[in-house]
């Protein structure tokens, strides 16, 4: 009997190493989806192992504290691995169920929430958002002042050429003032960011945003910013629920996403990751920015500000369930969130040839997602139609419908533009595909 138990334990460990994880993965708990050997879905175990080596290299160089990586194909997790530390100061190891600040990876969830209301017939994409948010009626656009204007005036105002629509806020083409760039950036900092009070709601912030002029006429350009906060506010006004209540009831509970929150319960602090920043005085090696304590703004009260643009925390296991739902055409394990045609609509390019400056060439933008339109221009080993996004703390995901594949990478470093860990992870995952193309199977 003891020999049988020993053989069983060895088999469990071997299976877990094949998918790059701990024995818990064989039970399905840490994976989020069913698991499979890579070879069962056209991938190479040997090649997938390169992900571990690549991620460990970043940890060894002191550029990131630790990393969780996941690859799923055809509805099965084939690789799940954690390296380094969740909290480098306490030497708490990174684990597959570590909870991360996902920042802008909140945006697809908020966008799906709004499109669920679209499916109920509340609005059309070309409807003005002023139908529900009257503060955005009759917007003005800031344009550079000319020599004829009063000295010292940074810009002058002209009426917006067209109203802001639902499509504009979902595609980042509304022209909102933002914290990245644009002629109204100082006004955004003063009015929206510095004007925030401790008990403010997202509705308060959106109303302040509406007092500022736009950077350009709606639809004329792509400009990343906090448009998805407006998306989240639209969800609240249309549904009559807070964004937190809506996503919990309509998305997280049906999809069994038990570790995704706007504010992390203190009971889960033992799985919360610390955040780091590069130390420019020490070869960009990391230094602590925020410890994973109850004082984190993602934990402490008041729990009233629900940012659709970047307020959530989650795990790789939860996040893969959300995007397996999308990859399945809106359904997972019997829970129908969206219709297939709505998923197709969301993941199509809606921005034409507008430059998507944050991604570079080869991409367009859908309803909450960047969309790959030209593999050669983007210079990534992926497929036309692949969609995804990332978060400010260096989290990242993509979904490739042609390959029926999802990749997720989670770490916590801000800023991260000095490293290529996200792009390298995508290369390492895709080079492990070894079967023939779909058209040949």
Backbone torsions φ then ψ of 50, nearest 5 degrees: -65, -25
- Which residue is associated with the tokens 């099965």? 76
pLDDT of residue 146: 75
How many Å apart are CA 191 and CA 205, to the nearest integer? 9
Q: 185: burial class by Cβ within 10 Å (0-12, 13-18, 19+)?
A: middle
What's the confidence (pLDDT) of residue 257?
98
Among 32, 63, 29, which Cα is nearest to 424's? 63
Both tokens assigned to 109: 């969830």
Residue 434's contacts (CB-CB under 8 Å, 6 or more residues apart) are 42, 43, 44, 47
pLDDT of res. 145: 81
Q: For residue range 283-307, list pLDDT tens digits in order.
A: 999 999 999 999 999 999 999 999 9
Judge contact between 407 and 71, C-beta under 8 A: yes
Mean pLDDT of the chain: 92
CB 30 within 8 A of CB 80: yes
**Three-class secondary structure of residue 44 per DSSP:** coil
- pLDDT per position as a tens digit, 360-419: 999 999 999 999 999 999 999 999 999 999 999 999 999 999 999 999 999 999 999 999
pLDDT grade for 152, boundaries at 50, 70 and 90: low
Using the structure block, give the residue that is written with the tokens 């916590």: 412
Spatial distance between the Cα atoms of 350 and 367, rounded to a whole number of angstroms: 7
């Amino acid at each position: 009997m003891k020999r049988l138990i020993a053989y069983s334990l060895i088999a469990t460990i071997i299976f877990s190493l094949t998918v790059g994880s701990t024995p818990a993965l064989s039970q399905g708990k840490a994976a989020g989806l069913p698991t499979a050997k890579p070879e069962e879905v056209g991938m190479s175990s040997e090649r997938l192992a390169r992900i571990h080596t690549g991620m460990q290299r970043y940890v060894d160089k002191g550029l990131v504290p630790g990393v969780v990586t996941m690859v799923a194909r055809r509805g099965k997790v084939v690789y799940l691995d954690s390296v380094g530390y969740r909290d480098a100061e306490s030497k708490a190891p990174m684990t597959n169920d570590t909870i991360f600040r996902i920042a802008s990876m909140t945006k697809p969830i908020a966008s799906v929430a709004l499109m669920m209301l679209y499916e109920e017939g509340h609005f059309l994409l070309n409807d003005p958002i002023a139908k529900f948010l009257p503060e955005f009626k009759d917007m003005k656009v800031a344009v550079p002042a000319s020599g004829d204007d009063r000295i010292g005036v940074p810009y002058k105002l002209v009426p917006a050429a067209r109203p802001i629509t639902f499509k504009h806020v979902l595609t980042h083409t509304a022209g909102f003032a933002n914290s990245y760039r644009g002629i109204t950036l100082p006004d955004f900092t003063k009015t929206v960011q510095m004007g925030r009070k401790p008990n403010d709601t997202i509705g308060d912030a959106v109303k302040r945003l509406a007092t500022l002029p736009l950077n350009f006429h709606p639809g004329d350009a792509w400009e990343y910013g906090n448009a998805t906060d407006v998306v989240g506010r639209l969800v609240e006004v249309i549904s009559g629920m807070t964004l937190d209540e809506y996503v919990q009831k309509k998305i997280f509970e049906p999809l069994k996403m038990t570790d995704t929150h706007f504010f992390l319960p203190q009971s889960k602090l033992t799985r919360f990751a610390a955040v780091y920043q590069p130390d420019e005085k020490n070869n960009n090696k990391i230094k602590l920015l925020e410890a994973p304590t109850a004082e984190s703004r993602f934990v402490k009260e008041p729990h009233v500000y629900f940012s659709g643009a970047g307020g959530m925390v989650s795990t790789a296991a939860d996040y893969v369930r959300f995007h397996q739902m999308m990859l399945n055409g809106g359904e997972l394990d019997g829970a129908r969130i969206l219709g297939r045609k709505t998923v197709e609509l969301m993941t199509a390019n809606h921005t034409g040839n507008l430059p998507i400056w944050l991604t570079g060439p080869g991409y367009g933008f859908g309803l909450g997602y960047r969309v790959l339109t030209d593999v050669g221009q983007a210079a990534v080993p992926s497929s036309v139609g692949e969609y995804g996004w990332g978060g400010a703390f260096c989290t990242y995901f993509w979904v490739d419908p042609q390959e029926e594949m999802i990749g997720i990478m989670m770490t916590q470093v801000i800023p991260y533009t000095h490293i290529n860990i996200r792009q390298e992870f995508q290369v390492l995952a895709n080079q492990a595909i070894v079967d023939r193309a779909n058209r040949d199977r």
